[in-house]
Amino acid sequence: MEPASQPTGRAAILSTLRERIVAYAASRYERESAEDLAQEVLVVIHEKYPQVERMEDLVPLGFQILRFKLAAARRKAFRHGDHLASDADLLLSPDPDPEAEAERAQRMERLVAALARLGDRCRDLFRLKLQGKGFAEIQALLGAESLATVYTWDHRCRKHLLDQMGGRWA
């Protein structure tokens, strides 16, 4: 009879596989996330592949699942903008940048002047969009016949606003 402290069969194989997965994930991804990724891979193997018992089958299966998990983690990080993260101390300054403030004020002046030159419908459309109204609500409020009409108005008004701003937003 074997001692209780020694894992047997599938448990021993999964323990060895886990070590390999953590090492591989840590070399390709964040060290802190490697343990979590390994755990997720083992959960998938346990839930979806209980019939797979041999090390020769589990290793390629585990690493294929890990590659999918790594790709998903990278896509998620990209969607959340983690690839753009930088040192916050460099980005944040207690004093506002005078040049940036002046550019922002000039853009705001140009925008206000351009909005004043637009027609009533475009101004109403922008006002409702800024209030958070959806296109269906705007359709009802402005009395448009169809939703496609509101989309067309929106496109034309944005184009007209861009023209009024000199052909560029910045």
Render each residue's pLDDT in the chain as its tens digit; 170 residues: 444 454 567 788 888 888 988 888 888 777 778 888 889 999 999 899 989 888 888 889 999 999 998 888 888 877 877 666 555 555 566 667 788 888 889 888 988 899 899 999 999 999 999 899 999 999 999 999 999 999 999 999 999 998 888 877 66
**Residue 85: its pLDDT value, please?**
58
Nearest CA-CA partner of 15 in 61, 70, 55, 68: 55
Q: Do residues 159 and 167 touch, judged by C-beta distance below 8 A?
A: no
User: Phi, psi at residue 93, to the nearest 5°?
Assistant: -130, 140
Whether 121 contacts 157, CB under 8 Å = yes
pLDDT at 3: 47
In Å, the largest CA–CA distance within the chain is 89
Does the pTM surpass 0.75? The reply is: no
* Rounded Cα–Cα distance for residues 62 and 111 (Å): 55
